[in-house]
Structure 1
């Protein structure tokens, strides 16, 4: 599956949006990928995650388990794990950091692929990887549907992305005037608190 194929899936779902968005990372961007509109259709999610699973195996080999960060990584993590024929578990924020809960755990030395939806700065990925390593897992790779950094982000392990884009993202105090003139939307999930 090519970058264009992935973007076609986002376009077909109405999930490739333009405007002024605050991302989960806190950065501002003129482009937002509303992955939930993609993942709400099982057939679309299946196509993307099957291709991601194939790319993971071709790049780093077969993992023992897939671990995803809640909330955004749960659906692609599950579907990718299905195609990898491995268990899918996830970490959740507790006290500000990712933890295994709900009875999820890793066996020491298990080969883990960390599966995300979209990576921009890699912060959630690095935090998830740290939780996996703390639990005794061996992270063989991180994987995502879309890498918004264009391959520049460093998550500390190989990053397998189905689509790599260089999408501009700016700190709030360094917005280009044309972006600053557009009303802000905040669709990210990191600031959600339950």
Structure 2
């Protein structure tokens, strides 16, 4: 897995890591931005992300994966496809930002592949404060699923892990910012 981690770090650094002042979703100012979608939508990047998320979940009793649209869409897709190839099929779901205004009116898409009480992992590209992720977790719990893991590609180490812990979730990151920069430059 070390080689996959190094490859992903280099891709993330080249395609997704941007230095310069930016305003984050949380409203905070930052001296860097992490646009994970650039890497998650790259063929090798998607493979690396799916492989590393599956590795994080190898010892977790999980029956599916999901996350908040739009950032988690490619993450969920890569994990579901690679899980099938690995012989451990994990269906996926996507959490909408707003309930669907027509049809079923649901917050979650893909629930037809799940039964109430199934154990799932939440996937996220970047965690800063964890606020958006906690809201998504509440919607997943309200839909009757049990969250047993919360995984992210990058933990910015800006309070998200602690906020998630207060909400009852342990964060499993592929990288912290320091780890990403170190691995990318190795």
Q: Same fold (TM over 0.5)?
A: yes
2:130 to 115, 122, 129: 122
The structure whose RCO (Cα within 8 Å, separation 6+) is larger is 1
CA–CA distance in 2 between the matches of 1:9 and 1:76?
Answer: 15
CA–CA distance in 2 between the matches of 1:40 and 1:126?
Answer: 24
2:35 corresponding residue in structure 1: 34
2:163 corresponding residue in structure 1: 154
Contact 1:46–1:79 (Cα < 8 Å) also in 2: yes
Contact 1:18–1:31 (Cα < 8 Å) also in 2: yes
Worse-superposed segment, 67-76 or 2-11: 2-11
1:89 to 93, 117, 125: 93
Q: Which ranges in structure 2 are unaligned for 5 or more consecutive residues?
A: 84-88, 100-105, 179-186
Q: TM-score, normalised by structure 1?
A: 0.73
1:134 corresponding residue in structure 2: 142
Contact 1:20–1:29 (Cα < 8 Å) also in 2: yes
Q: What SS class does the counterpart of residue 30 from structure 2 fall into? A: strand
Deviation for aligned residue 1:34: 1.4
Q: What SS class does the counterpart of residue 57 from structure 1 fall into? A: coil
Q: What SS class does the counterpart of residue 114 from structure 1 fall into? A: strand
Q: TM-score, normalised by structure 2?
A: 0.76
Deviation for aligned residue 1:18: 0.7
Deviation for aligned residue 1:103: 5.9
Contact 2:50–2:79 (Cα < 8 Å) also in 1: yes
Deviation for aligned residue 1:62: 3.5
**As a proportion of its length, which structure holds more helix?**
2
Deviation for aligned residue 1:144: 0.9
Q: For this pair of structures, how many residues does the alignment match? A: 161
CA–CA distance in 2 between the matches of 1:94 and 1:139?
Answer: 20
Contact 1:56–1:160 (Cα < 8 Å) also in 2: no
Q: CA RMSD, aligned part only? A: 2.4
2:181 corresponding residue in structure 1: none
CA–CA distance in 2 between the matches of 1:103 and 1:4?
Answer: 32
Residue deviations 1:2-46 (CA, integer Å, cap 9, x gap)? 676543221232x21111011112111001111122122121121
1:100 to 101, 107, 119: 107
Alignment of 1:10-25 (within 5 A): 10-13=12-15, 15-25=16-26
